[in-house]
Amino acid sequence: MAALILTSPFKINQVLRELVSQGVVEEAVIGRAHQYRLNKQHVLVKDLILPVLHFEETVLTNLGSELMKKLKPHAPLSIILYGSTARGEAEPTSDLDLFLIYEDAEKVPDPASETLNLLSEWTTRTYGHHASLRRCWVSDFQNRARERDPLIRNVIKEGKCLAGLSLMEVLDYGKTH
């Protein structure tokens, strides 16, 4: 652990002992080794540390909900995040790669439409990242998946559903609807 955060093992042990003494961290001695874990009952862990650790998940859920609201009345069946952000490798200049999957009967917004331009501006202002939007109909997505289209394979492999149907539901859509 010390090598990962460029700190001496002595300093890490000193900090861990302090956290144990304050009850934030619990220690178990197993032979000559020491095992540490967060005390989930401690107020700092419960009300501060765990919410921060789950922050990304909450942000992505909120992003999906907001995008669905902003795309009404022509909201997609599914909004999938893929690319570097989905892989956890985003840089400060990375785009939010979003794939919008629409029901076949739904009108898919033109890439130059005012709605999509406003949506991209909103994500930049709100999240600090430009939205790179791709859209298609569900049947097109399914066909491209069957044809092993590289982009669709990538979306399926690393994509995270932000709102709407999951990737599995998208791939099965129409078989049960």
Kindly report whether the peptide bond that precedes residue 76 is cis, defined as omega within 30 degrees of 0: no
* 152-161: long-range contacts, CB 8 A cutoff, minimum separation 24: 154/82, 155/80, 155/82, 155/99, 158/82, 158/83, 158/86, 158/87, 159/80, 159/81, 159/82, 159/86, 159/99, 160/60, 160/80, 160/81, 160/82, 160/86, 161/64, 161/78, 161/79, 161/80, 161/81
For residue 177, pLDDT over 60 is answered with: no
Domain that holds residue 45: 9-53
Give the pLDDT confidence of 99-140 residue by residue, as tens digits.
999 999 877 777 667 788 888 899 999 988 889 999 999 999
For residue 162, the domain's CATH number is 3.30.460.10
Does residue 1 lie in a domain region?
no
One domain for residues 94 and 42: no
Give the pLDDT confidence of 144-153 residue by residue, as tens digits.
999 999 999 9
One domain for residues 138 and 163: yes
One domain for residues 71 and 116: yes
- Percent of the chain scored above 70 by pLDDT? 95
Asked whether the beta carbons of 155 and 144 are under 8 A apart, the reply is no
